[in-house]
Amino acid sequence: MAWDTERTRRRLLDAATAEFAEHGLAGARIDRIAQAAGVNKERIYQYFGKKDDLFAAVLDARLRASMDDVPMTGVGADAVGDYAGRLFDHHLADGVIPRLVFWEGLELGVAAAANAARVEYQQQKLTRFQALMPGVDRAVAGELLLTIVSLVNAWPVLGQLDRLLLGSGDPAADADADADVDRRAGRRAAIVAMVTAAARVALERAR
């Protein structure tokens, strides 16, 4: 029977996504990824190259999928706020994108900006985002998109700051499932409101 290359690649990417999200680039182990995927680890090197390249492939695949999962639609400040809210929902449901992005920042830093695939993805995303605000300069749109991405990615991985700044002071009460749902809704509303206001100012200045 012929080897299903595409299926094997997908299994490796899924296993690597879970491994990198949990342990980061430095802490991830190729043998654990291979075992989770049910393939020989030599397949990883054959398909993706070294571990750094596999990490880049994982992040690129996840981010490109998110651009399709969370389309940018409409025009104007409300459309920008709507996108921010849907991106927040997506990243919380996805569970790994914020962790992967933070691991990338911690372990690779600005060196990640030398990755051609990441540059292409971000420029495509910025072009789509700019279309939500006709007349707004690309640099201004880029600042606002960076703000959205930073806010959306930070909340899932910096939960301790949320509890410290906005918790009730009662750990038991803050750990309650209903309180967690309320905080998610509150944080989402705050992000949407801030982003919508910033987009409205940018559009007014562009006019």
pLDDT, one tens digit per residue, over 143-192 is 999 999 999 999 989 888 888 888 766 776 666 666 677 888 999 999 99
CB-neighbour burial class of residue 27 (10 A; exposed 0-12, middle 13-18, buried 19+): exposed
Side-chain-side CA neighbours of residue 36 (13 Å) = 19
Q: Say which CATH number the domain at 22 has.
A: 1.10.10.60
**Residue written as token pair 């691991």:** 103
Q: How far apart are CA 78 and CA 126, in angstroms?
A: 17
pLDDT, one tens digit per residue, over 56-103 is 999 999 999 999 999 999 999 999 999 999 999 999 998 899 999 999
pLDDT, one tens digit per residue, over 86-95 is 999 999 998 8
pLDDT, one tens digit per residue, over 103-152 is 999 999 888 888 888 888 899 999 999 999 999 999 999 999 999 999 99
Same domain, 187 and 90: yes
Side-chain-side CA neighbours of residue 179 (13 Å) = 13
Q: Say which CATH number the domain at 177 has.
A: 1.10.357.10
Look at 167 and 51; give whichever has higher pLDDT. 51
Same domain, 57 and 129: yes
Which of 128, 8, 108 is closest to 68 using CA atoms? 128
Same domain, 43 and 63: no
Residue 2, pLDDT > 70, answer no
The DSSP code for 205 is H
- Number of domains forming the structure of the chain: 2
Same domain, 72 and 166: yes
Same domain, 87 and 180: yes
At residue 178, φ and ψ (nearest 5 deg) are -65, -35
Q: How far apart are CA 149 and CA 152, in angstroms?
A: 5
DSSP string, 28-72: --HHHHHHHHTS-THHHHHHH-SHHHHHHHHHHHHHHHHHHHS--
Residue 13, pLDDT > 50, answer yes
Q: Are 195 and 148 in contact (CB under 8 A)?
A: yes
Which of 67, 120, 72 is closest to 97 using CA atoms? 67
Same domain, 30 and 84: no
Same domain, 5 and 59: no
What pLDDT does residue 163 have?
A: 81
Same domain, 27 and 41: yes
Same domain, 95 and 191: yes
pLDDT, one tens digit per residue, over 30-39 is 999 999 998 8
Instruction: Report residue 1's pLDDT band, with 50, 70 and 90 as the boundaries.
Output: very low
Same domain, 83 and 125: yes
Same domain, 104 and 202: yes
For the record, the structure tokens of 172 come out as 């038991």
Q: Are 90 and 70 in contact (CB under 8 A)?
A: yes
Same domain, 159 and 57: yes
Q: Are 147 and 198 in contact (CB under 8 A)?
A: yes
Range of the domain at 16: 1-49
